[in-house]
Amino acid sequence: MSNFVDYVKIHCKSGHGGAGSAHLRREKYIPKGGPDGGDGGRGGHVIMKGNANEWTLLPLRYTRHVKAERGENGGKNQLTGAYGADVYIEVPIGTIAKNEDGEIIGEILEDGQEIILMEGGMGGKGNEHFKSSTNQTPRFAQPGMDGQEGYVTFELKILADVGLVGFPNAGKSTLLSSVSAAKPKIADYAFTTLTPNLGIVDYRNYKSFVMADIPGIIEGAAEGKGLGHRFLRHIERNSILLFLIPADSEDHFQEFKILENELKEYNPELLDKDFIVSVSKSDLLDDELKKEIAAEFPENKQPLFFSGVTGEGLMELKDAIWKQLHG
């Protein structure tokens, strides 16, 4: 079973508000003591909190229900009841929470960020609030309000500097393993990568950037074919996109256009991102073949050639990525 989980659904319930108190003063030297009841405490919230040390929703996979504490009832001497304890659901940066109607409640973009998913019920007011000229000693108080309840869906979109885009067997996993310490599964069959992999790529002068190996696209992915939307949503959060076209492709530029079209069909805004076109497995090519392939592409989309196996062109590729990220 994969340890990368990017989708979970949890039933959440915030705390019920505490009831107000209807206490009346009963003191020896105050024969006509009036209302003395305090307000009930607010019920606990259910809160989503960003945690930079988490990178998957796996810890939440078997969490079916989350319930916050009830607020305490108000007390005498107009004491307000204690608030119910809030419940925190820690999630990776890049997590989006949606309600049962599919509407976005909020998204976590930084470590420590908090978003209330379900608000705790308000505490009821004590009888002190209901005192009037015609009712000096109200013997009633307000009950606490119910907390919110419902299902919340959590979706994780990988945050990375550069996302690898290509068909299965384009060489994405080989590239990631060549330039980082990540060890993705590599094999000669489609969809070797079933879940995203992240790697820290070392660059010049102790600099670095994050690269994401995303499951391969197939034609029709925007309509849900193959792994469909599951991987396309991860591409949304990458700063730049690196298109990988394998050297042994039958039509390099056409393959690029298919990939580009799948992104456009899913979300046209993806084409506004900066991108780099590359040809992987270039150890299979001689200089003449490289020129022929480059001639297939327009001037503004000239590909970079590299080989994750031999290391050819990797430094030039990292230079181009760094320039795009910080140029």
Q: In angstroms, rounded to a whole number, what is the distance separating the alpha carbons of residues 126 and 21?
A: 5
Element (H, E) at 273: none
The torsion of the CA quartet 158, 159, 165, 169, rounded to 10 degrees, works out to: -50
Q: In angstroms, rounded to a whole number, what is the distance separating the alpha carbons of residues 112 and 54?
A: 12
Q: Residue 104, Cβ neighbours under 10 Å: how many? A: 11
Question: 126 a known binding residue?
Answer: no
pLDDT in tens, 168-182: 877 888 898 888 865
Question: 154 a known binding residue?
Answer: no
Question: 280 a known binding residue?
Answer: yes
Question: 213 a known binding residue?
Answer: yes
Question: 256 a known binding residue?
Answer: no
Question: 20 a known binding residue?
Answer: no
Residue 264: left if φ>0, alpha if ψ -120 to 50, beta else—which one? Answer: alpha
> Which pLDDT belongs to residue 189?
43
Question: 215 a known binding residue?
Answer: yes
What is residue 32's DSSP assignment?
T
Q: Where in the chain is the domain with CATH 2.70.210.12?
A: 7-156
- Extract the tokens encoding 80: 């307000």
Q: In angstroms, rounded to a whole number, what is the distance separating the alpha carbons of residues 311 and 303?
A: 17
Question: 194 a known binding residue?
Answer: yes
Q: In angstroms, rounded to a whole number, what is the distance separating the alpha carbons of residues 317 and 91?
A: 33
Question: 172 a known binding residue?
Answer: yes
CATH T-level assignment (fold) for domain 162-326: Rossmann fold (3.40.50)
What is residue 223's DSSP assignment?
G
Question: 251 a known binding residue?
Answer: no
Domain 7-156 classified CATH 2.70.210.12? Answer: yes
Q: Where in the chain is the domain with CATH 3.40.50.300?
A: 162-326
Question: 282 a known binding residue?
Answer: yes
Question: 133 a known binding residue?
Answer: no
Question: 283 a known binding residue?
Answer: yes
Nearest to 113 by CA among 99, 98, 94, 136: 94
Question: 174 a known binding residue?
Answer: no
Question: 127 a known binding residue?
Answer: no
Question: 169 a known binding residue?
Answer: yes
> Which pLDDT belongs to residue 84?
96
Q: In angstroms, rounded to a whole number, what is the distance separating the alpha carbons of residues 226 and 306?
A: 27
- Extract the tokens encoding 102: 């599919």
pTM: 0.69
* Length of the chain measured in residues: 327
Q: In angstroms, rounded to a whole number, what is the distance separating the alpha carbons of residues 177 and 307?
A: 12
Cα separation values, 204 from 163, 176, 177, 183, 319, Å: 20, 17, 18, 22, 9
Question: 138 a known binding residue?
Answer: no
> Which pLDDT belongs to residue 311?
92
Which residues in the chain show pLDDT less than 50? 1-2, 184, 186-194, 219-228
Q: Residue 272, Cβ neighbours under 10 Å: how many? A: 8
Nearest to 49 by CA among 85, 9, 2, 97: 97
